[in-house]
Each structure stands twice: as C-alpha cells, then as structure tokens.
Amino acid sequence: MDGPILVIDRGGGRRVGEQLVDGLRRGILDGALRQGDPVPSTRALAAELGVSRSAVVAAYEQLAGEGYLEMRQGAPTRVAELDHAHAHGHERSGHHRGAARAHAPAVGVPPESVAPRIDLLPGRPSTARIDTRAWRAAWRQAAALDIPSNSPPPFGVRHLREEIADHLRHARGVACDADDVVVTAGTSEAVGLAASALTSIVGRAPVIAVEHPGYPSARRTLERRGARTAPVAVDADGLVVDALRRMPQVPDAVMVTPSHQYPLGGRLPVAARLELLEWAGSAGAVVIEDDYDSEFRHLGPPLPALASLDDGGGVVLVGSFSKVLTPWLRLGYLVLPQSQALREAIDDIRADEPCPVPGVVQDAAAALLASGAVRRHIAVTRRDYAHRRRLVLDALDGIPGAPLSGLDGGLHAVVRLPGHAASAAVVAGLAAEGIAVASLGDYSAVPGDEEPGIVFGYAGPGDTQLAEGLARIRAAILAVV
Ligand SMILES: Cc1ncc(COP(=O)(O)O)c(C=O)c1O
C-alpha cells in the first residue's frame, strides 16, 4: 500500500501498543491492508513508525490471536483470510451435534455435511495462539522415545500424571499428587468412567443428579453407562443446593459445573460450595465436579475448586484440555477422591479397559506441560478472550427483551428471548445465513421445560468473523423482540 499504514500520536496519551493494534486492525477492516497480503516485517514497521520492535511484535501477536493476522514460522506474517478459521473444514463437535439433538427439535442447525460459514457453537477454543514451536518440540520429544511394546499404564503415563497434578495444584489449589490423577480421553470419558465406577459400587443403576439446564452430552453419557439422571434446578449462581435436599430420592451422586455453570454461566458462591459439600457428606453422595471454564474468569476471581474445599473425600474432579488447548487432543483427567471404593472400582475398570489415550499423546502432552507452554497459553488466551467478550458486550448488551448473560467467565454467552417462536426464528434465520448458534432449549434436562434463547461461543472464529456473526445475531434478535 502507499503511504504509512498508520500514524502514531505521541501527544494524546494513548499507549503506543494500543495505537498499533487499533491502527492495524482498522487498516484490515477498511481493506487498506488486504486479506492474504504480507504485512511489513516487524523491523521495517518499527523503523518506519519510530517505535520499538518489541511493540510491533506484541501488536502482531495480539492481532494473530484475534484472527486478523496469520503468523507462520519461516514465512512472512500475512493478513488472514476471512474464513481462515474454517480452512480446515472444522467438523462440529459431537457435543454440539448432541446439544442440537436433545429434547427440543434441532431447529436451524445445519446438517453435519454443511459446515457453517461462521461457527459460533459453544465449545470451540481459539487455537491461533498455541505456541507452535513448543507444540512441535513436545511431539518431537515424544516421537524420539523408545517404542514400548505394552499398553500405557491403566491410570496413564506417570510423567503426565505428575504434570497434571502440578497444574491442578497451582491453577486450582487442589492438593493432589500423581497417584490421585487418572488420565482420560477428555471430560466425556472421565464422566463415563465415574458412572461405571458408581454402578459397581452401589450394585445397581446409580441415581445421578444433573443440572437443569445442563450439559446434554454429559447427561447422555451418564445414562448410556446405565445411570439414572435426575434434574436439579439452577439459578443465576449455579446449582440450587436446596433443590438437592428436596429431591424425592437421595441421589448417589451429583454432577455440577461450579466454576461456570453450563450453559447459564453462574458461579457457585463459596457458601453454596460449602453447603453442597455438607449435603454430600450427610447424604453419602459423590460430587462429580466438572471444573469446566475455571481457567477463564473475566469478572471476579476464580473460586476454589470443590475438590480443594472438601475434606470428606467425596469429590471426583473431572477436567480437560479441550478448552485450555484444543478438543483435538482428546485429553482430560479425573482426580480420585480419598474414598478407597472409587479408586478400586476405577482400577478394576481400567484393568479391563486400558487407558484410551495413546501413550505417544500422553508423552507429548507431558512434555508440553513441562515446557510451561500451557501455562503461558492460558495467560495469553485469557487476555484474547477478555477482548472477544468485550466485542460481545458491545454488540449485544442492553437489547430490550433479550438479556445477555453468562459472560463472567468462559467462552460463551447466552441471550434469553421472549418465546419459543422467537428463539426458533433466530436460530433458523442465522443458520440460513451460515451462522451456527445453539438453542438454549437444547440444554434442558426436563422435557417440556425448555427456556427460549440462544447459546453461542465467541472464542473459535477470528475477530472479523465474530464481528460479522455478532452483527447478524443482533439483527436477528432485533427482528423478534
Ligand atoms: C460443561 C462441559 N464440560 C466439559 C467439556 C469438555 O468436554 P471434553 O473434555 O470431553 O471435550 C465441555 C465441552 O464443551 C463442556 O461443555
């Protein structure tokens, strides 16, 4: 392009880094910097603008994280193609196919073969900022190891269990060590494992209380493993502990998302956490804590995991690297409580059904965690997601009749709508435009009690796609309120 890309204002008090990011972003959105074109080298732009090279590097990295730029090792940095996020034809995750299939009709979610143009289904993290150098180094390290002639150990590779325990001690204050950690193929497998273990302990189909609305895949997984699920209400703070006390049959376990209730977004206050643990202790119930989204708090500090508050030994913590890194890894964990019965039951199961996560994946993940790249990635993406969250608020907050919520943490948001017809029209209208969002009704655990609204993720696509998606969501909502 002719002329300077942007001009730095030195008198206005705005930070140089901020001006760089804003100016470049504006250039891309205005088309002054064309999609696919290389941007100037960091050295050249720094010299042209009279700023430090590190400020330009930081600006490019931020814009790469937001999806505006594409940075590849050994190649010039380029302006990203708009549909970059779909270049690999991301299939939608089973979980959200599942969500669409739940009790409500699968309104508006296009058939699997038709990839949405802008995929705002919840559950997709941004992978743009994964440190590819550290990622490749970890895989090289794993590939260089001797090739064992046995299956991975039943509870997972020792080194990985140590790294996960370390991660949980630091990030979540959970006092655990490698012996307490079971490596799983994501949360879904961890939940299934917990259900199978409970079945063998109670010697019948266990009754497991689940949040309503809640995570439909987890509910179905529990049921498929022979458990009977029983819905428990949630409110703006998450699971209603009193509702557990009022259940006609005391459940054997309760599955809860205390960090960021899925999908409504409540964060269970400490008092309610303690109450829940007290109830579990007196009812003899196991708490399955899905610590989903605990890494991404935007408002208010993260609260201690139930597993770190519990001294009764009845909390099974399940978690995964699906949001922290990518669901492509299919890697998660289950932290065993002190309860000997559960340990033995899981031990028995894994003796017959070996750890499903391939040994080489475990070795690579251990190396990646040990390199510090995961910790750094969480810190970087937390900032990116805070910026995305701001875009969501700017676009959708304050529409009368369509309250926006669920944004204190995590990577998705909820908009309540004034009726099922409105909700169906919004989901279907967006689908027709190639924009996939989920229907809030699909998360209901009580057939016939579906709440109208939409749930959408804001982490996966780049900013430009997100901005378009949000503008269209806004227009679709305004047409029905
Ligand atoms: C509530 C909840 N927990 C956990 C997960 C992660 O599941 P997995 O580890 O099986 O990918 C998801 C995925 O979207 C989720 O919505």
Residue nearest to atom 3 of ligand 1 (CA): 292
**CB-count exposure of residue 34 (10 Å: 0-12, 13-18, 19+):** exposed
pLDDT at 1: 52
346 CA → ligand 1 middle, Å = 21
416 CA → ligand 1 middle, Å = 22
CA distances to 97, 108, 222 from 94, rounded to whole Å, are 5, 17, 16
Q: Ligand 1 pocket check: which of 127, 189, 261, 292 to mutate, most ligand atoms within 8 Å of Cβ? A: 292
Residue nearest to atom 6 of ligand 1 (CA): 187
Helix (H), strand (E), coil (C) string for the chain: CCCCCCCCCCCCCCCHHHHHHHHHHHHHHHCCCCCCCECCCHHHHHHHHCCCHHHHHHHHHHHHHCCCEECCCCCCCEECCCCHHHCCCCCCCHHHHHHHHCCCCCCCCCCCCCCCCEECCCCCCCCCCCCHHHHHHHHHHHHCCCCCCCCCCCCCCHHHHHHHHHHHHHHHCCCCCHHHEEEECHHHHHHHHHHHHHHHHHCCCCEEEEEECCCHHHHHHHHHCCCEEEEEEEECCEECHHHHHCCCCCCCEEEECCCCCCCCCCCCCHHHHHHHHHHHHHHCCEEEEECCCCCCECCCCCCCCHHHHCCCCCEEEEEECCCCCCHHHCCEEEECCCCHHHHHHHHHHHHHCCCCCCHHHHHHHHHHHHCCHHHHHHHHHHHHHHHHHHHHHHHHCCCCCCCEECCCECCEEEEECCCHHHHHHHHHHHHHCCEECEEHHHHCCCCCCCCCEEEEECCCCCHHHHHHHHHHHHHHHHCCC
321 CA → ligand 1 middle, Å = 9
Atom of ligand 1 nearest to the CA of 257: 1
188 CA → ligand 1 middle, Å = 7
- pLDDT tens string, the chain, 481 residues long: the values are 556 778 888 887 778 887 888 788 778 776 778 888 889 988 889 888 889 888 898 888 777 765 678 887 778 888 877 543 333 433 334 344 334 333 333 334 444 446 899 999 999 999 999 999 999 999 999 999 999 999 999 999 999 999 999 999 998 889 999 999 999 999 999 999 999 999 999 999 999 999 999 999 999 999 999 999 999 999 999 999 999 999 999 999 999 999 999 999 999 999 999 999 999 999 999 999 999 888 898 887 778 899 999 887 899 999 999 999 999 999 999 999 888 899 999 999 999 999 999 999 999 999 999 999 999 999 999 999 999 999 999 999 999 999 999 999 999 999 999 999 999 999 999 999 999 999 999 999 999 999 999 999 999 999 999 999 999 999 999 999 9
473 CA → ligand 1 middle, Å = 24
Q: How far is 293 from 372, CA to CA, in rounded Å?
A: 20
Tell me, yes or no, if the pTM score tops 0.85: no
Q: Ligand 1 pocket check: which of 262, 334, 455 to mutate, most ligand atoms within 8 Å of Cβ? A: 262
Q: How far is 67 from 480, CA to CA, in rounded Å?
A: 31
**CB-count exposure of residue 184 (10 Å: 0-12, 13-18, 19+):** buried
Residue nearest to atom 12 of ligand 1 (CA): 123
Atom of ligand 1 nearest to the CA of 122: 14
Q: Ligand 1 pocket check: which of 92, 124, 187 to mutate, most ligand atoms within 8 Å of Cβ? A: 187
Q: Which domains does the chain have, with CATH numbers?
A: 16-79 (1.10.10.10), 92-124+375-478 (3.90.1150.10), 132-371 (3.40.640.10)
85 CA → ligand 1 middle, Å = 20
Atom of ligand 1 nearest to the CA of 96: 14
Pocket of ligand 1, beta carbon within 6 A: 95, 123, 186-188, 215, 257, 262, 290, 292, 320, 322, 327, 332
Q: Ligand 1 pocket check: which of 323, 325, 329, 458 to mutate, most ligand atoms within 8 Å of Cβ? A: 323
Atom of ligand 1 nearest to the CA of 323: 6
345 CA → ligand 1 middle, Å = 24
